[in-house]
Structure 1
């Protein structure tokens, strides 16, 4: 009998110590009722967000290989239609930022639209022809459009560890 109780106590101890954290969607409410956000990835706030002018100044001063921790807002242009593993944002009406998610730890809803706040690392890169073609394929572009990609592209990028999607 003592052995059964001992095994039961050990089993309960092992299973109760399991601390599994699943990133997912949570809903946050800001001070006013019209500001409700769905949260993806790490928990972030809408405080200290760089405006479009400051984020573009930051990007223009970066060199390939530089990264800067930042928080910015933008409007979703496109989300990867296969998994939601990337999105492009309109920052200021003229410039786009390609956003990927840290360690593929979370994805955006395939039908995500509207304004977002993202937190993570801003950087610039020269995207290879192969990668540009891969993104075009993911986005459902035609074979002719994919074949027309023949040169690398200098891009503003962002690796997000948390996203707030305005609902």
Structure 2
């Protein structure tokens, strides 16, 4: 009788663990890239934008937020542009140590890492535009550095 109880308990434990693996408390599944991060308690897009608004050049801020992907590097998946209300955030990956899929536009993600402001040179903007698949005409219009909201992600969760 004791062995039957142990087997049933073990089975139920494994079943419950398997059901929740890769899911948050609401049962949403994610693919994970980079370091493992929790899907719990990310800032919503508007709150994340407010956090970015507090930054000055040279500041960094640990941040975890959720939003939608606007675009991704079409060469390797080595960067992505995320949507915040009225703004964009350029995301790169810690130590160039991981990439994301190249076909995730309009998908929901959670990112964790460091938020900061960065001036992007004309040369780098043109490089990014080429990676994004922009035309030569669009690339030729880039002619001055821009201050951008940037993010160095150490972990990314992509909603399934």
TM-score (norm 2): 0.83
Q: CA RMSD in A?
A: 1.2
What whole-Å deviation, never above 9, does each CA across 1:87-107 have from its counterpart, x for those lacking one?
001122x11111000011100
The match for 1:83 is 76
The match for 2:145 is 152
Note the 1:30-69 alignment, pairs <5 A: 30-33=24-27, 35-69=28-62
Higher alpha-carbon Rg: 1
Query: Match of 1:28, SS?
Result: coil
Query: Match of 2:82, SS?
Result: strand
Query: Match of 1:29, SS?
Result: coil
Query: Match of 2:51, SS?
Result: helix
User: Would you say the 8 A contact 2:24–2:40 is kept in 1?
Assistant: no
From 29, 36, 55, the equivalent of 2:23 is: 29
User: Would you say the 8 A contact 2:42–2:65 is kept in 1?
Assistant: yes
* Deviation (angstroms), 1:65: 1.2
User: Would you say the 8 A contact 2:22–2:29 is kept in 1?
Assistant: yes
What whole-Å deviation, never above 9, does each CA across 1:56-99 have from its counterpart, x for those lacking one?
1221121111100110111011110000000001122x111110
Find the aligned partners of 1:156 and 1:142 in 2 and give their Cα distance. 24
The match for 1:101 is 93
Find the aligned partners of 2:157 and 2:45 in 1 and give their Cα distance. 17
Find the aligned partners of 1:129 and 1:32 in 2 and give their Cα distance. 43
User: Would you say the 8 A contact 1:73–1:91 is kept in 2?
Assistant: no
User: Would you say the 8 A contact 1:40–1:163 is kept in 2?
Assistant: yes
| Larger helix percent | 2
Structure 2 residue runs without a partner (length 5+): 1-20
Structure 1 residue runs without a partner (length 5+): 1-26
User: Would you say the 8 A contact 2:74–2:132 is kept in 1?
Assistant: yes
Q: Does 1:115 align with 2:83?
A: no
